[in-house]
Structure 1
Amino acid sequence: MSDNINWAELSEVERIKSESNYLHGRLKESLANRLTDAIAVDDRQISKFHGIYQQFDRDTERDRKRRRLEPDYSFLIRVRVPGGIVNADQWLQMNQISEEYANGTIKLTTRQAFQFHGVLKGNLKPSMKAINKALLDTIAACGDVNRNVMASPHPYSSSVFDQVQELAGKLSDHLTPRTPAYYEIWLDQKKVAHASTGEVEPLYGPVYLPRKFKIGFTIPPFNDIDVFTQDLGFIAIENNGKLEGFNVAIGGGMGTTFGEISTYPRLGNVIGFIQTDKVIDFAEKIVLLQKELGNRKERKNARLKYTIDQLGLENFKQLLINRLGYQPEPERAYTLVRNSDKFGWHLAKDKHWYLGLFIEGGRIKNQDNSLLKSALKEIANLHISDFRLTGNQNLVLGKIKEHDKTKINQILKNNGLLPQSISGARTNSIACVALNTCSLAFAEAERYLPSLMNKLEVSLSEFGLFRDEIVIRMTGCPNGCGRPYVAEIGFIGKGPGRYNLYLGGNFEGTRLNRLYRENMNEEEILESLTPLFQDYSEHRNNGESFGDFVIRKDYVAPILNPKDFKH
């Protein structure tokens, strides 16, 4: 294939994928090389398709460089959980892996996945085997393929929850790469490709997609997976307890690049309604169009959102209709009320209880007198609930019987987790990992946001806003992993200790925010937000959210065209 392609015209990653022999690369050789704690440069791209990122400790970088040592390398492993639900045994296995092979913590991601940090190269293969022992996997958790399929984990007001979860799982299976490389490298197994034609990758081919692809299912009135930020979003339409089908939104995506005006966040466009039995074929056709039409020259412009904007939405829709052989029906009516989670105890229509737990920064760990990790392990050992990862880095304990609620409450109390007094803004906060391990981060996020929230809560309390829910999200760079561009208050790391401040997203997750102040330190952030909180407290309309307020009061103007977005 390489003989017929001018690789100079394409991004370097395209060559690496093509020459990887369907994601084998030289990973076996890299893993066997004991002269370095890293893997080969090309294999760092291929390993992402296997759910692995090579990282290094940026806190020790200068010192190690001064001592002429290579960086302190370790690896991130991301575990797919389509729909976000695992059972107690799987939770216990994740807990054990974190203690045996990682840094002792578990990160819950904004795509309802598990992440392990600090895994050494020699522990990669044992970790992968342990993950698969739990009937979970990491393939396609990263890389230029469809990634973990999200689905709302909240069943409170819906009778079709189980159907949507099942469909999310089936779609995830359908779009999972077929290469046997994963099984051969990590599990020492031989596996024949699934396709009856004998093709290794009948859907993706040898070069896979131009860039990552994200799919999510939401069940109104919840938008807790931020459906409009997905490349492909399915909005369940329920009528009298029956799942009629889905409104479909295409072209969402958060990632941007500082200084590149051709990059911008974009919310998906609803292009119509489809019946439930058409979902998998519809998704496949969208993926195939993106594979064929997406930008393989410039990765910064390779997501579906740019493909759609380059062609024009109507032209793209017509290409899709031609491929499908039918036209989607008109969009059905629906209502979204929040893109955040609900906390505390809730009784669902299935007559089971569900407990929403706020997990700051998505980090499962023991800290001081708050023994979160120990408490969840103790609950898992009772086998009285399942564990549901949310798209906001939180956790829901589910399928709990009435008589087991007391046991769970007592465990949480014994481990210092109850009672809690947490502000509405803090419970609606998200922070990406950022420093010290993410190579893309310009500034702190997960390690810093809690202390910033402490200071913001002083103002919120002063103006009677401590219980008010305000969506706040912080990322260490503009790539958008924490979906900051739909937050009511968004912080984007610009440099050490400095952030761009964005305002005006809404509580439903249906509006982009806009740059309000640039390159601010903590003092400037507090000086800017304090008078806004006071104004909001004194002059908001009844039921008006903070994001809607700052738009109405002209602090920022709404973004009607994503290309108007500014860094």
Structure 2
Amino acid sequence: MTTEEPKKSKVELIKEASVGLRGSITAELADKTTDHVVDATTKLLKFHGTYQQDDRDLRKSRRKEGLGKAYSFMVRNRIPGGKMTAAQFLGELDIADELGNGTIRITTRQSIQLHGVVKNNLWDVIHRINEIKLSTQSACGDVTRNVCCCPAPLRQNGLRDQLQQLADEIAVHVRPKTAAYHEIWIKDPDTGEREQVVGPPAEPEPDPIYGKAYLPRKFKIALALCDDNCIDIYDNDVGLLGVTEGDKLIGFNVLAGGGMGTTPSKKNCFPALAKRLTFVETEHLLPIITAIILVQRDFGNRADRSQARLKYTIHNMGLPAFKRKVEEYLSEAESICGVPNGTLPRPLPAPRPDDVTGHDDHMGWHEQGDGKWFLGLPIENGRVKDEGDQRLKTAFRLLFSDLVTNCRLTAQQNILLCDIEPSQRETIQQVLADHGVVTVDQISNARRFSFACPALPTCGLAVTESERALPGVIDDIEAELSGLGLADEQFSIRMTGCPNGCARPYNSDVGLVGRSMDGKTGEGRYTIFLGGNLRGNRMAEIYKDQVPRSEIASTLRSVFFQFKESRGSGESFGEYCERIGVEELAKNCEVAT
């Protein structure tokens, strides 16, 4: 009697045969006759922090000329908690100017992406990122991605400093053990030459957390405090919500199974908010995280990647059964973490009643609590560039060369300039003004609380515009809100070029998700979601589907009007939409028109 091997996707077979994520990466990088790598290598390169892409704006014209795709690579950094020194930020700008497309992009997970990197420059880019003491390892791929954390350097009670320290510890703990990254991308410090290995080892290095094939899909972890969920912990595979007593951090409510991606054509695909799993004391974070990862490693779907995130594992098991399975894995997790068996209680306790109560994007000037200040600057869709009168990149070069020592990146694609002496504030304000840099007091709330994914022209999954479209959409929405006297309302607007949800549209007040492109006009059509909130702990619902980009603001106008006329006292826009319901909102809009 034979036991049939479980089915595995193509990517699983590639990972298993890669010898610790090595594959043929080194050989293909050395081949200067091609401008791209084969499909199997693209899958492995993700673990090293880079995606192969092509400029979709050029596809048609290049076909006419008999040319292939215009390939390039996106390179993503891993920056736990979004912390960067001035030298590191300047280093990223230099790399972008010399080896990329001249811009950098702050991501929705507190990191930096470089775009337009051609294959022959890829090694130099990743190597130079490591030279400035950053890394791209595990920024992508089927492993734990960048660990997110509230970036605000508020030091009055030390709570956020503790979160940042824990983010660093978690990031080190969950980093893959393979030496492939160092072998491929790092030079020998003694010779100054690119390190060469005789060949890959016969077997990959043992990795007690990830095993031979790593995880079935990506895995995201974030930390936050109840009164400030600025990093959206509910959309992470593991969300760690700090529970405090006064100024003391006593532990965390552990949330599991969040994820924004979906495939509308598949009924078994859905976005999900994480579920409240348990409470653990602060010193027990690594074992509980490890146990959850081990369960996902062993029980996640490796046959169908559209069903491979932790949210589906929990959905299929049921939360009580999943929790019992995590408890079964606690002994192995404790051994991996080097703590005595039985350190964590069995069974795991219920989570504490503490939950998310607020959101702060940390924009504008703030006292840090140590005599210094930080300044939160909004960056539209995270793109750092010089364009027209706004010379953001040049301003940052000046600030980081002389006035600002470090910064932190936010999950809203913005930046915090940190540790500013009071005497420097006026000079910094003048530098920003001289370079046309927009500050938070100069933009509407609609723009302040909006962001988009990159989408076209480089993302291979995009079906519509997003980053290039949202500024104009916000222009139209601003006009509608201003006309109704609602310009001061605070609510989130997020746009994505496809249903994968990189800009977290499914728990925002207004979510705009790319659905299709008009073949004749080229205009994108979007699904409008309503009813989420800034706190990030409520899902939005579909209001209208296939709305042309030019009609988004006019479609929302009647909803804004209803909100103005019949909102409850202190009720936010998302709360109003959730209370009334999307069907009733649509019905009222039809009556109004």
**TM-score for the superposition, normalised by structure 2:** 0.89
- Does structure 1 residue 137 correspond to structure 2 residue 140? no
What's the counterpart of residue 561 of structure 1?
Answer: none
What's the counterpart of residue 452 of structure 1?
Answer: 473
What's the counterpart of residue 590 of structure 2?
Answer: none
What's the counterpart of residue 124 of structure 2?
Answer: 126
Superposition deviation, residue 121 in structure 1: 0.6
SS in 2 for 1:128: helix
SS in 1 for 2:582: coil
What's the counterpart of residue 283 of structure 1?
Answer: 289
CA contact (8 A) 1:340 1:428 kept: no
What's the counterpart of residue 486 of structure 1?
Answer: 507
Query: In structure 2, what is the Cα distance between the partners aligned to 1:43 and 1:219?
Result: 39
Matched AA of 1:70: G
What's the counterpart of residue 92 of structure 1?
Answer: 90
Matched AA of 2:367: L
Matched AA of 1:161: R
Query: In structure 2, what is the Cα distance between the partners aligned to 1:510 and 1:529?
Result: 23
What's the counterpart of residue 379 of structure 1?
Answer: 399
Q: Pick closer, same or farther for the CA change 1:243–1:367 going to 2, 3 Å.
A: same
Give RMSD over aligned pairs.
Answer: 2.1
Matched AA of 1:277: E
Query: Which among 10, 29, 34 is matched to residue 8 of structure 2?
Result: 10
**TM-score for the superposition, normalised by structure 1:** 0.93
What's the counterpart of residue 475 of structure 1?
Answer: 496
Question: Could you list the runs of 5+ residues in structure 1 that have no partner in the other structure?
Answer: 192-196, 559-567
Superposition deviation, residue 327 in structure 1: 3.3
Query: In structure 1, what is the Cα distance between the partners aligned to 2:13 and 2:157?
Result: 46
What do residues 494-514 of structure 1 show as CA deviations (whole Å, max 9, x unaligned)?
112110111111221111101
Quick one: percent identity of the two aligned structures? 40
What's the counterpart of residue 173 of structure 1?
Answer: 172
Query: In structure 2, what is the Cα distance between the partners aligned to 1:281 and 1:8?
Result: 29
Superposition deviation, residue 335 in structure 1: 5.0
Query: In structure 1, what is the Cα distance between the partners aligned to 2:87 and 2:351?
Result: 41
What's the counterpart of residue 112 of structure 1?
Answer: 110
Superposition deviation, residue 158 in structure 1: 5.0
Query: In structure 1, what is the Cα distance between the partners aligned to 2:526 and 2:360?
Result: 23
Matched AA of 1:93: G
Superposition deviation, residue 543 in structure 1: 2.0
Query: Which among 529, 533, 542 is matched to residue 502 of structure 1?
Result: 529
CA contact (8 A) 2:374 2:417 kept: yes
Q: Pick closer, same or farther for the CA change 1:158–1:103 going to 2, 3 Å.
A: farther
What's the counterpart of residue 398 of structure 1?
Answer: 418
- Does structure 1 residue 299 correspond to structure 2 residue 305? yes
Q: Pick closer, same or farther for the CA change 1:333–1:349 going to 2, 3 Å.
A: farther
Superposition deviation, residue 8 in structure 1: 8.6
Query: In structure 2, what is the Cα distance between the partners aligned to 1:88 and 1:315?
Result: 47
Alignment of 1:327-476 (within 5 A): 327-339=347-359, 341-417=361-437, 421-476=442-497
Query: In structure 2, what is the Cα distance between the partners aligned to 1:352 and 1:332?
Result: 35
What's the counterpart of residue 564 of structure 1?
Answer: none
Matched AA of 2:508: A
Superposition deviation, residue 389 in structure 1: 0.5
- Per mean C-alpha deviation after superposition, the further-off stretch among 537-546 and 231-240 is 537-546
Matched AA of 1:281: P
Superposition deviation, residue 88 in structure 1: 0.8
What do residues 158-210 of structure 1 show as CA deviations (whole Å, max 9, x unaligned)?
5311111011111101100111111111113479xxxxx99432321221100
CA contact (8 A) 1:337 1:508 kept: yes
SS in 1 for 2:57: coil
Query: In structure 1, what is the Cα distance between the partners aligned to 2:584 and 2:278?
Result: 28
The number of residues matched between the two structures is: 551
What's the counterpart of residue 324 of structure 2?
Answer: 318
Q: Pick closer, same or farther for the CA change 1:268–1:348 going to 2, 3 Å.
A: same
Query: In structure 2, what is the Cα distance between the partners aligned to 1:206 and 1:190?
Result: 23
SS in 2 for 1:516: strand
SS in 2 for 1:60: helix
What's the counterpart of residue 268 of structure 2?
Answer: 262
CA contact (8 A) 2:257 2:314 kept: yes
- Does structure 1 residue 82 correspond to structure 2 residue 80? yes
Query: Which among 232, 236, 260 is matched to residue 242 of structure 2?
Result: 236
CA contact (8 A) 1:254 1:485 kept: yes
What's the counterpart of residue 25 of structure 1?
Answer: 23
Query: In structure 1, what is the Cα distance between the partners aligned to 2:146 and 2:308?
Result: 19
